[in-house]
Amino acid sequence: MKTTTDRRQFLTMLGTSLGIGVLYTAMPAAAATGAPTEFFNFLGEANGERPRPFSFVQLSDAHVGFNGPPDPLGTKAFERAVELINSLPQAPDLVLFTGDLTHDTEDKDVHAQRMKQFLEISKRMKVGKVKYVPGEHDAGLDGGALYREFMGESNYSFDHAGVHFIALDNVSRAKPEVGPEQLAWLKKDIARFPKTAPIVVFTHRPLFDLKPDWEWFTSDGDEVMNILAPYQNVTVLYGHIHREHDHTEGNIRHLASRSLIFAFPDPEQAQDKKPIAFDKEHPFRNLGGRLIKEDNGRASVSSIPMDEVQLSLREFHEINGVQQILKPLSY
C-alpha cells in the first residue's frame, strides 16, 4: 500500500514515572498536524476506529492488604497515586493496572475484603476507564476465581482511539504461564488486524526471561512473542518486578512500572531478591508516590521528567510498518 504519510513520525508517547507508574500520551502525527492521510484512514477501516490523541496511565502492584516490613505504608502510595492522577491538567482516558492489586491470603473472606478495598480506592480516579489484569497474589491460590468475581475476565481485549489493547493473564494457572487456550485466543484475537496496527499488551509477569531464578519470567512467553512478532507496533506493559525496566526484542518494547508498595533491587547488582529497605525520611522513594517537587513543605507536580518514545513509520515490503524508537526530549 502506498501512502503520502510522513514516514518520520507516526505516534508519540510521553512516558513519565510520575512516581505513580507511567503516564503515556499517544499522539498520531497526522492528528497533530491535521494532515489527512491514507494510512490513518486505512487503520481506521481495519481496526474500526481511526487513531486519535489520548493518554493513559500504567499502575502496578498495590498489594492491598500488605502492611509491615519492608514497607509500613499500606495503601498510602496507592492513594497518593490516585491523588496525582486526579491532579493532572488533563484526565487520562485509561488507567491500566498490571496485576497484584491485592496481597494474597488463604482466608477467602479476608481476600474478598481486600478486593473491595482495592476497588473502593481505584474508583476514586477521575478517568474514563480502569482496566485490570491479575497478579499471582490476586489469582494464584484459586485459579483466579475470586479475581473474576470482583474484576471480571482475566484476559480480554478492547479498542480505544485506534489502538488495540490486549489483557493477558500469565498467573492464574498457579505458575508463570499463559497456557494453550489463551495462546489460541490471542492468535485469533489479532488475526483481523493489519501488521501495522498499534497494539498494547498489558500483563503481570514479564513475557521474556528477565531473571528466571527470581521468577521474573513467563514459561511460554516465547510463544506469545512469536504470535506478536509479525506486528510492527507492539508495546508490552508489565509489573511484578517492583521497579522500572525497559527492554526491547525485535519490534517489541517491554516496559515495567514501579510498584505501589515496596521496591526490589536491580537483579544485575544484587545477588538476593530482597526488597529495598524502607526509608522513613523518604517514604515514597522507589515507589509510586515519589515527590516530584517540594515547595514550602508542600508537594506539587509542577515539573515532571519525561522520556519521549516515538513510533515511526517505515516502508516494509511496500507496507507502512511501525518501529519503536527511544528518543530523549529536547526540553
What is the DSSP secondary-structure string of 30-76?
HHHHT---HHHHHHHHHHSS----EEEEEE----BT--BTTBTTTTH
Angle, to 10 degrees, between the axis of helix 180-190 and the axis of helix 221-228?
Answer: 10
Q: 324 lies in a domain?
A: no
**Mean pLDDT in residue range 61-78:** 86
Q: 99 lies in a domain?
A: yes
Give the C-alpha separation, 110 to 219, whole Å.
30
**Mean pLDDT in residue range 33-40:** 50
pLDDT of residue 43: 60
Q: 69 lies in a domain?
A: yes
Question: Residue 79 is part of a domain; what is its CATH number?
Answer: 3.60.21.10
pLDDT of residue 71: 75
What DSSP character marks residue 127? S
Q: 312 lies in a domain?
A: no
pLDDT of residue 293: 28
Q: Going by DSSP bridges, is the β-strand pair 252-256/234-238 parallel, antiparallel, or unpaired?
A: parallel
pLDDT tens digit sequence for 236-281: 999 999 988 888 888 888 888 889 888 888 888 888 888 888 877 7
Give the C-alpha separation, 25 to 324, whole Å.
15
Q: 315 lies in a domain?
A: no
pLDDT, greater one: 120 or 18: 120
CA atoms within 13 A on the CB side of 201: 25
pLDDT of residue 136: 96
Choose from 184-193, 240-249, 317-326 the range with maximum mean pLDDT.
Answer: 184-193
Q: 170 lies in a domain?
A: yes
Residue range(s) defining the domain that contains residue 269: 17-297
Q: 286 lies in a domain?
A: yes
pLDDT, greater one: 6 or 59: 59
Q: What is the separation, in whole angstroms, between the first and last Cα of the chain?
A: 36
pLDDT-derived band at 287 (thresholds 50, 70, 90) equals: low
pLDDT, greater one: 218 or 74: 218
**Mean pLDDT in residue range 23-34:** 54
- Dig out the grid coordinates for 240 from the structure: 511484578
Given a contact cutoff of 8 angstroms between Cβ atoms, the answer to whether 139 and 154 are in contact is yes
Give the C-alpha separation, 262 to 250, whole Å.
31
Residues in a beta bridge with 15 = 307
Share of the chain above pLDDT 90, in %: 39
pLDDT-derived band at 4 (thresholds 50, 70, 90) equals: very low
Q: Which amino acid is at 129?
A: K
pLDDT, greater one: 327 or 76: 76
Q: Taking all residues of the chain, what is their mean pLDDT, rounded to a whole number?
A: 76
pLDDT tens digit sequence for 78-126: 888 888 888 888 888 889 999 999 999 999 999 999 999 999 999 999 9
Q: 185 lies in a domain?
A: yes
Lowest mean pLDDT segment, chosen from 79-88, 205-214, 308-317: 308-317
Q: Give the number of domains in the chain.
A: 1
